[in-house]
């Protein structure tokens, strides 16, 4: 065990990048409403460092509304082929406009247009609504750079607890938990 969870996360994430066929950066994101109704979905982590784990979304989506009302979240990376899981409790904080702008600029143009065209989590009247909206915003930004929509940004999950779980035979799993405190991180092992 190390005194800091991030070198271990870096090593496991690199192994997942080599072993997982699709989206090793996929993580389940659990949010809750102010009255504690949970919701979970898979999102893609787009950056991470010792400050936290970053993902992007439409701020008007269900998850955006839940995060605005209750920033307490839980992340779960599950790398089945490696028989590993990383669970993270934390608090979602908005990324800066500059950070969101910089990431948005790296997205493919069709994804940028999609961020403008989709009223994420809102009902569609017909199956053509999205394609009609895409055509409209495509025409609007024809020949122009696509700016980041004001309702689209990111969150950094600042971890307070990170648990590393390694599958072992006969359910003799290894569980190591890092908890943030005033002096950095404390570490303990858990029974499987």
> All domains of the chain, ordered by start, with CATH?
5-107+151-190 (2.30.110.10)
Helices (H), ranges, the chain: 5-19, 62-69, 97-106, 109-117, 129-140
DSSP for residue 167: -
- Number of residues assigned to the chain: 192
What does the block give as tokens for 74? 């839980």
DSSP for residue 121: T
Q: What's the start-to-end Cα distance of the chain, in Å? A: 17
Mean pLDDT computed over 76-98: 97
- pTM for this predicted structure: 0.93
Mean pLDDT computed over 145-167: 97
Catalytic residue list: 171
For residue 183, pLDDT beyond 90: no
């Amino acid at each position: 065990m190390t005194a800091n969870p991030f070198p271990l996360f870096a090593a496991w994430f690199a192994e997942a990048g080599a072993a997982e066929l699709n989206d090793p950066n996929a993580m389940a994101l659990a949010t809750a409403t102010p009255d504690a109704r949970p919701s979970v979905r898979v999102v893609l982590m787009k950056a991470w460092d010792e400050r936290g784990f970053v993902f992007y979304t439409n701020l008007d989506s269900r998850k955006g509304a839940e995060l605005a009302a209750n920033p307490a979240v839980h992340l779960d990376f599950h790398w089945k082929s490696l028989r590993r899981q990383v669970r993270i409790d934390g608090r979602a904080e908005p990324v800066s406009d500059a950070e969101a702008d910089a990431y948005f600029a790296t997205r493919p143009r069709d994804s940028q247009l999609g961020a403008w065209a989709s009223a994420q989590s809102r009902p569609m009247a017909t199956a053509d609504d999205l394609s009609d909206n895409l055509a409209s915003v495509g025409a609007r930004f024809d020949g122009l750079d696509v700016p980041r929509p004001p309702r689209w940004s990111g969150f950094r999950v600042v971890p307070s607890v990170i648990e590393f779980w390694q599958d072992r035979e006969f359910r003799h799993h290894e569980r190591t938990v890092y908890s943030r405190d005033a002096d950095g991180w404390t570490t303990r092992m858990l029974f499987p």
